[in-house]
Structures are given as structure tokens and as C-alpha cells.
Structure 1
Amino acid sequence: MLDTPPKNVTINKIYYKKTADPVSDKWDVPISTTAKNCRNYIREIVDNLNLEPNPNKKVIALSIGDPTVYGNLVPAKETTDALIETVLNGKHNGYGGSCGLDCSRNAVAEYLSYDGVEVQAEDVILCSGCSSSLDLCITVLADGTRGQNILVPKPGFPIYRTLAESMGVEVRHYDLLPEENWELDLDDVESKIDSKTAAIVINNPSNPCGSVYSEEHLRNVLRLAERNKIPIIADEIYERLVFPGNKFVSVASLGAKVPLLICGGLAKRFLVPGWRLGWIVVHDPVGAFAAVRKGLVCLSQRIIGSNTLVQGAMTKILLETPQSFHDELMNTLIETANIAYEEIGKIRGLKPFMPQGAMYMMVQIKSECFPQFNDGLEFVSKLMEEESTFCLPGEAFGLGGYMRIIITVPKELMVEACERLANFCNKYYKPKPCQLLPPVSIE
């Protein structure tokens, strides 16, 4: 930097500044409030755990929400062939519209038009994965500068909190009821609503609970939202991933007079999470979302659209993947879930909750049976240290006293993991002493 302006050059004295003293001449680049507020709650918890596996045992990770990591679950041939064809024909190497290619939006609309729902292509906005879809939905509805809040489930996927709090939006947690298949505690939901509530987030099927909500329960949720005039953000990334005896019901199919933003994507049902293709469907039966539609278009322009190669393959992926692929995936998941439920159900001090869908199972850790551990964090840390088996503690989802396991691992690994869990719990299980009953007088 020059200490004096060069000759024959006029410098506005307001902007010209002599170089600072070398001792204090250092960079000071502050970060934004959004960056300061952005926190990954799972990583914060996991990174602070003492996760040193037993060197004599190979690690079994029952914690990773990516269904592809063990290699036992792979996408359909139709899915991979469609992408290869798109790459080779070279027709989708350029930019697409910020909301997505017309052919891809049409494919999503057709794919989601069932059970009486008719989705139009103009209702669809394509995003970079479902997390991007959730980001846009929360951003368009909630504003931290206005002191707004959103309601999210507890236990629930922490990305909702990460996205909202990074923008200064307050997060209020409503309870799910484990004894009622993790349904929403509607009284608790309503108690959290005030004039600053911008949206209610519901996740069906659920991560981490594996619950699938009935039509009756969803209608009750929608009545609550309509009564309070609160829009809903519906995270349906696990749509149709349900076990026999259950049915996935999209909130869009129920004819309620509630404006909805529905989030989904290819990641889970089609086993391609790294392809980063999600969507938002705007469902607005009351005409409340005119400004929201425009806002979503503006927000989508920040990344100038999602991956065009995947978009080019969307029609074949969504509409030509055979039902037999989806059936086989569900058969695999439920077989593994049954193994976990049966084997963990035999372990003293643990209580598994059989999922109805998705890719997860919640397990209660009966703390009174393990007094050596102050909380679930210590429990899973010691489990890793001794048995090289890692489960995500419930604290990662806002609910202590539980842990979440995945049901996407190969069956033989699930069997071994359950054996390790049993060994660990048998070692530390301490039953509560018998409570003596007061004497009964006999007259």
C-alpha cells in the first residue's frame, strides 16, 4: 500500500488512508451473525464424546443416516442407467432454470400425484437435496428480525434447529409421545403457539422415531393448524417408506384448508443421498401463498438451480423404477428391524420401539438400571469404548434417555451389534432393589 498518493492523481481524502503502524497492521475479518449462529448439534455432541473404540473389535456404526455406506443397499439399475444416459447424451451440461428443468418438475408432479392429490409442475421447486428444501421453506416463512418462531418435534432431526437459529429464528420444541407411536402431543403443540409463530414442522415418516402417522392423527394436526392459522412445513423425505400394515398419508391428500410446503427428494427411497436432489411442493388451497411462491423463486436463484445431470434423469428415475425395487428395499428394512426389535427386546435395561417405517429405531435406556452412567452420552461412549458399537444418543435429537439406531446395516452386522449390546448391558445392569411393602394389618 502507498504511504502517499502518486503524482498527478487526485485522491478523495475521505477514502485515502495512510498505512497503519506495522505493529497493529493485521487483518480483522468478522463473520456474519448467520455464520456465528449456525451450529451442527449432532456434531457438537458427538465430537465432545470420548469415542475410542475397542482396538480388538471392528467398529459397527449404527449411527449413520446414509443408507449406502455399508454397500448392501444400492440404487435400482434403472436409476443408475438413467444418470449414465444423461451424462453421455450431453444434453444437460448447462444451467437450468432456478426452479428446475420443466421436464424434471413435470416428473416430480406426476410422481406425487396419487391418493387424490394433483400436483402441477408450477407447484414444484427443485433444490439441492431435501435439506436445501427445508432451508428455503424456513427462510421464506420465518424472519428472525421480526422475532418469529417455528415449532419443531422433540425428538426430531436437528437440521430444523440449525437452519432456523442461524437466521435468528427462535425454535420451540413440541413433544412426541413414545407410548402413542411418537404422535404429536397436540396440547403441547398448541401451548407453544403465539402471534409470532411462523410455521409448524412435521416429519412423517419420522427421523429418528420411525413413526408413520395415521390419517386421523394428521387430520387432527391440520385442524390445529387451521384453527391457529399457522402454515405447515411437511418433511416427507421418507414418503412411502412404510412397513406392511401401515400406509403413508401425505398431508396434501387430506383436503384441509391449510397452506403447506412439502419437502422431499430422491435421497432415501431411491438410495442416492449424494446426488443432492430435493424438492418443494407448494400446496395452497386457501390462496395464502402468493407472496411465498415469489419468495421461493427468489431464494432458489441464490444457487441458480440444482444439479442438471440428475434433473435430466429424473423422469426415468421417478417413473420407470419398478415397484419391485421399492418392495425389496422395504422387505430388507423390515427384516433388519425385526431382528433388532426381537434381540434388543431381550436385553435387560433397554426398551426398543418398533418402527412403522423410515430407516431408524428408537431404543429407551432405562437409566435406573444403569446408575453408573449420568446420561445417554456416557452410556454410548462406554459402549463404543468396550464394544466398538456406536449408536447416536437421544440428546442429539433433543431427548435424553434414548438412543437411535439405523436399520440399514447388513443383517449379520445387526445380529453382532445386538450381541455386543447384550454383553455390555449385562455387565453394567443393576436392578433396582425390591421395594418392601408396608405391613398389612389383619383384623
Structure 2
Amino acid sequence: MATATKTTEVAVSNGLGNEEEDESSRSSIRAMLAKLTLNKNPKKQVIPLGLGDPATYPCFRVGQNVAEAVVKSLTSGKYNTYAPSFGIADARRAVAEYLSEGVPKGLGLVEEDVYMTVGGSQAIEICLAALGRGKRGPYNILMPKPGFLLYQNFCALNNIEPRFYHLLPQSNWEVDLDGVRHIADDNTLAIVVINPNNPCGAVYSRYHLQQIAEVAGKLKVPVVSDEIYGHIVFGGSEFVPMVSFASITPIITIGGLSKRFLVPGWRLGWIALSKPQGSLKQTRIKEDIEKLMNVIPGPSSFIQVKVQISLLSNVNDDVEFATELMKEESVLVLPGSILGLKDWVRIHFGAPPEILEEALDRIESFCERHKNCR
């Protein structure tokens, strides 16, 4: 049990391969959810558990003091001009200090290491564009499966081949390190790691993160560490920033305010570069990021349910499960196929307990009606 996700088993999944993706996997998350919403049951109010937006319900919204601070900045008149391309100095410094908390001495970040972006999505876009900038040939980036679809989309825009390594459900969704070694080659630009993991919810141990860094170090590539869910952990889990291992291999950290600070609509994210340790094929990454940021607009001043299809009648896969669930119960969940994990569904549980209870009751009722009695 790790981030804002929890695993409840109701079924068996097929394996994760590098086979041709089905049509649902090539769609966007928002497009899939919009399509599912069209099938809602008009007799029941929709319970949206498909999109990871923590600000949907009032109980998760920021306090009045945060809003007042923003209003104060706005009315001061100091921030009506264009912001610097890399972000306001005070903001960059604050993020550097935040990312350096708990990091070993000598590996902390400073203002010049941080670049402010329009949310985490633009941070991903800039990072992948910079990694592939000026490169010719069949370059590739290694990324997790299941994983966040946006990485794959931005690879396509930058003529980078996405290569997928497996996350292992039987090992708490840890990275298949042998698989990483197997698919890497001389044209590999980076390894993407999402921790805490989206969509699986695992939080990787300090030891496992060190293992990942050591593999990247031997391959002489950086780790792109997506920490948008950083510090959102439950129980005895510990969030360890990947920059803690920058002495082994360079670390590019991606983050933002949206999840931990509950303000996704503010669209404020960042890229942070660890000080290079050792050789890199892409030695100009910092320069390339700065060139890109000088010509693009800068920022303004889950729960898994593993579906055992064989136990259900008239349901053939996870997309059909989500479609029929919406049609009958008006509960919106995200099919796992779009994240690279067929016959699973993702349920975002950033909702009040009473709403979650009603949603789970509806899902249970749906499964009972469709139970295969053979």
C-alpha cells in the first residue's frame, strides 16, 4: 500500500508484452473518459473515479491562507509582467529547497538547477524534446508498462522510440531490472521511472531506487524521475527522492503542485537537473532545455481493480467492463488498456468516503448481475 491507490483483486490479467497495442491504448485518457461518459445511466448521478484530480471535491481543496497568498501576489502588481523564461527566481529557489529535503549532503539542488513549467505535462514535453534534440538515428527511451500515456505521446512527437520495461505485480510493481538491461542499447537516451508510481501506486524502497540508478549508471544514461506524486504515501512507506542517487547517474526530476498540493488547475510544474556525475551521451541536456524554454511559453506569474473477465458474462475486456459499468451504474473508471495493462481498471479514490462507499456498492452490484454462473 503506497500512494493514493489500493489494490483489490477480482480477476486475472494477461501478461505484459511489447506486442501491438490495441486501439484503446492509442487514445488519450481524457478522450477515453469522455467517450465512457456518453454511456452514463441517466437515472444515477455520475461518480467520477477515472481522472486523478484531487481538487474535484471540496474536502481536498486548499486552505484559505493559500488562496489569500495568491490574491496578495496578484493585487501587488509585481507579477503583471512576463515571467523569466526559466521561472521567477524565488520560485526556482523554493522548489530547489523543497526537492533537497532529506537528500544526502552534496547532492542537494540550487536555484539554477530548476526550471519552472506549465504543469508536469509541459515538464515531460520539454524533457523528452531536449533529450532527443539534434539527434539522428533510431534513438529510444525506456519507460514503464503500465505507465503514463503522455510519455509515449511525446516520444512520437520527437521521433523517439518508446521501449517498455515491465513492472512486476508479484513484486509490488517493482522495475524488471533484467528487462531494462535487455531492451537498452547504445541508442538509449534515458530511463523513465515514476515514483510513487502512476497508475500502480507502489512506492519504491531506497534499495530498489539505488538498483535502478546503478543500472542507469552502467548504461551511462540519466534517470528521468517523475515524482508528481512525491510524498503521498501511506502507512510505513517512505518516499525517497531519486536525486539521492545522483552520485551514481544524472537525475532529471519532474514534479509539480497538482497532486500533493491539490491545485492541478494552477498548472505549475518543474524540471530539476542534478549536477552531472560521470559521463553522459547527451552532455548538452541543460543547454538544450534552456534553449527550448527560451522559445516556448512559460508558466503564469489510484486504486487498481484487476478484472477476471472469465467470471463475468457479456463482458469481454476492460474497456467493455468500464463501458457497461458506466451505462448501468454511472461509475466512471479508467480502462487499464490505455495505460498498457489490459483487463485492469484504475479507480482514483480522491473522493469523500461516503461517495467511495456508494461507488463500490454500485461496482459490486454490477459484478453480481454479470456474474458468470457456469
TM-score scaled by length of structure 1: 0.74
Secondary structure, counterpart of 1:147 in structure 2: coil
Q: Tell me how far apart the structure 1 counterparts of residues 349 and 63 of structure 2 sit (CA, whole Å).
A: 19
The worse-fitting range, judged by mean Cα deviation, of 42-51 and 267-276 is 42-51
**Structure-1 separation of matches of 2:144 and 2:56:** 27
Confirm or deny that 1:389 pairs with 2:331: yes
Question: Partner of 1:269: helix, strand, or coil?
Answer: coil
- Does structure 1 residue 153 correspond to structure 2 residue 140? no
Task: Please tell me whether Structure 1 or Structure 2 has the larger radius of gyration of its CA atoms.
Answer: 1
| Pick aligned residue for 1:286 from 278, 293, 298 | 278
Residue 65 of structure 1 corresponds to: 52
Contact 2:33 2:332 survives alignment (8 Å): no
Which amino acid letter does the alignment assign opposite residue 201 of structure 1?
V
Question: Closer, same or farther in 2 for the Cα pair 1:253/1:111, shift >3 Å?
Answer: same
Higher relative contact order (CA 8 A, sep 6+): 2
- Aligned residue in 2 for 1:210: 201
Per-residue CA distance 1:239-268 (angstroms, 9 max, x = gap): 111112001001111354211110111111
Pairing 1:257-272 to 2, within 5 Å after superposition:
257-272=248-263
Please state whether the residue corresponding to 1:362 is helix, strand or coil: strand
CA deviation profile, 1:21-58 (whole Å, cap 9, x unmatched): xxxxxxxxxxxxxxxxxx75324544565841111111
Give the aligned partner of residue 118 of structure 1. Answer: 108
Could you tell me how far 1:385 is from its partner in structure 2? 0.8
Asked if structure 2 preserves the Cα contact closer than 8 Å seen for 1:231 and 1:259, the reply is yes
Do residues 380 (structure 1) and 372 (structure 2) align?
A: no
The corresponding residue for 2:80 is: 93
Find the aligned partners of 2:321 and 2:195 in 1 and give their Cα distance: 29
Deviation at 1:140, TM superposition (A): 0.8
1:163 is aligned to 2:154: yes
The letter for the 2-side match of 1:286 is G
The Cα of 1:82 is off from its aligned counterpart by: 1.4
Q: How does 1:122-137 map to 2 (within 5 A)?
A: 122-137=112-127
Q: Secondary structure at the match of 2:95?
A: helix
SS at match of 1:307: coil
**How far apart are residue 286 of structure 1 and its match?**
2.6
Partner of 1:316: none
User: Does the 8 Å CA contact 2:229/2:259 hold for their aligned counterparts?
Assistant: yes
Counterpart amino acid of 1:148?
Y
State whether structure 2 residue 44 is matched by structure 1 residue 53.
no
Distance in 1, Cα, partners of 2:158 & 2:342: 26
TM-score, normalised via structure 2 length = 0.87
Q: 2-side partners of 1:276 and 1:41: how far apart?
A: 19
**CA deviations over 1:199-254 (Å, ceiling 9, x no partner):** 11110011111111001111111111111112111100111111120010011113
1:142 and 1:199 in contact (8 A); partners too: no
Corresponding position of 1:401: 343
Q: CA RMSD in A?
A: 1.8
The Cα of 1:305 is off from its aligned counterpart by 2.9
User: Any residues of structure 2 matched to 1:169-318 within 5 Å, and which?
Assistant: 169-283=160-274, 284-286=276-278, 288=280, 290-308=283-301
Alpha-carbon distance in structure 1 between the residues aligned to 2:336 and 2:98: 34
Q: Distance in 2 between matches of 1:44 and 1:78?
A: 35
Match of 2:61 in 1: 74
Task: Please state whether the residue corresponding to 1:421 is helix, strand or coil.
Answer: helix
Please say if 1:104 is aligned against 2:61: no
Gaps of 5+ in 2: 1-25
2: CA distance, partners of 1:46 / 1:59: 12
How far the C-alpha of 1:70 sits from its partner, in A, is 2.4
Q: Which residue of 2 aligns with 1:369?
A: 311
Matched letter for residue 60 of structure 2: L
- Counterpart contact for 1:222–1:256, Cα < 8 Å: no
**Which of 351, 358, 363 is residue 416 of structure 1 equivalent to?**
358
SS at match of 2:347: strand
CA deviation digits over 1:119-142, x for unaligned, max 9?
Answer: 111111111111111111111112
In the TM superposition, what is the alpha-carbon distance from 1:105 to its structure 2 partner? Answer: 1.1
Give, in whole Å, the separation in 2 of the partners of 1:307 and 1:122: 19
Provide the residue aligned with 2:70 in structure 1.
Answer: 83
Counterparts in 2 of 1:195 and 1:428: CA distance versus 1, 3 Å: same
User: Deviation string for 1:134-154 (max 9, x for gaps)?
Assistant: 111111112574221111111
Residues in 2 aligned to 1:257 and 1:92: alpha-carbon distance in whole angstroms: 40
CA shift for structure 1 position 296: 0.8
Offset of 1:290 from its aligned partner?
4.9
Percent identity of equivalent pairs = 38
* 8 Å contact from structure 1 (residues 76, 270) kept in 2: no
CA gap 1:50/1:412 in 2 versus in 1, 3 angstroms: closer
Alpha-carbon distance between aligned partners in 2 of 1:264 and 1:292, rounded to the nearest angstrom:
18
Task: Work out the number of aligned pairs and report it.
Answer: 343
Query: 1:391-432 CA deviation, whole Å, 9 max, x = no partner?
Result: 10001101101000011011111000000011110111226x
Letter in 1 for 2:365: N
What is residue 34 of structure 1 aligned with on the other side? none
